[in-house]
Structure formats: structure tokens, C-alpha cells
Amino acid sequence: MNIGQVNELSALKFVDAFGSVYKNSPTIAHETHKRRPFRNKNELFEAFVRTVDKHSPARKLELIRKYDGLAGELTETKTLLPASTVTKKETGLNALNKDQRAALRELNDAYTAKFLFPLIICTNELKKGHLLSVIKKRIEQDESREIRETIEQIHRIAWHRINDMIKD
């Protein structure tokens, strides 16, 4: 789909196409549809960002809690979409040994216990071997800063989804 086709979508078709850009959040797509027309996919993405960023803190936490977070990526038996499998290979998540996987689970559990929401990292942009250090830094943040960081990671995930959907 190109940006011209996106701009021509009815609200219903736009929500059908983009309702999963932010996990299980068709209302975000519906609100973003009202910001048309978009000149390019960057502008479409920025419209999604503005929609989410104007939400109340409670709505942002609700959005964060819709995501599986890193715990889902650590599940060995999880059925992944092809893109997730590629991302796991690129970041090294699929090549963790037993001790590394245990250390990652321990950090993930500590994070979840501290913040009471899932650890979300846009693994598409994570350099191989940096995951543990990124998590350690994020655990040290205060809650308000971590909520902002988590929303930013969700935006980065959304960017990759939009980028995959829209052809220039």
C-alpha cells in the first residue's frame, strides 16, 4: 500500500489496516485516521505518535500492559511471526545459552516486579549482545522516566510496522 491509498481509506478500512500498529489498539488507529491526509509514511507515523502522546498517563499504562514484553520473546515455545524470528536472530535472542536465558529472565522478572508492567524493547534496533546492559540501565530509572522510555519503545515498534506496511 502507498500513502495515497492510505489517505483514501475509510475510517473502518484504516482501522482494519492499522489497528494492530499499536497492539490491540484500534481506537488509536481510529483517532489517527482523523489526522489525514498524510504526505508520507513519516507523517503517518508522527500522527500515530501524537495520538498516543496526548493520552493520559492511565491510558498510556493501559497501552503498555497490552504488550507481552520481553517475557514473550523469551518463551521458547512461542509461535512467532516471520519478522519476529528474524529479529530474534539479529539480536541474538535465539542463540542465548541456558545461563544467559536465565539471567535475562531474572532481569525481566526484577523489572516487572519494580514497575508492574512488561519490559518492552524494540529489538529491531538493538545491537547484538547489548540486551542485558540495556535492561540493567532501564531497571535503574524512576517510574515516570521508564514509562516515557517504554512508550518510546512502543513507538519504535510501531514505526517498524508502518515501514513494513507502506511502500514509498
Q: Residue 109 sits in a domain of what CATH number?
A: 1.10.3330.10
Q: What is the pLDDT of residues 51-82, one digit of tens each?
A: 999 999 999 999 999 998 886 665 554 444 44
What pLDDT was estimated at residue 84?
A: 46
- Does 23 score more than 50 pLDDT? yes
Examine residue 104 and state whether it is found in any structural domain, yes or no: yes
The model scores a pTM over 0.85? yes
Domains identified in the chain, total number:
1
Q: What is the pLDDT of residues 33-59, one digit of tens each?
A: 999 999 999 999 999 999 999 999 999
142's CB contacts (< 8 A; 6+ apart) are none
Domain limits at 128? 68-143
Taking the C-alpha atoms of residue 153 and residue 111, their distance in angstroms, rounded to an integer, is 15
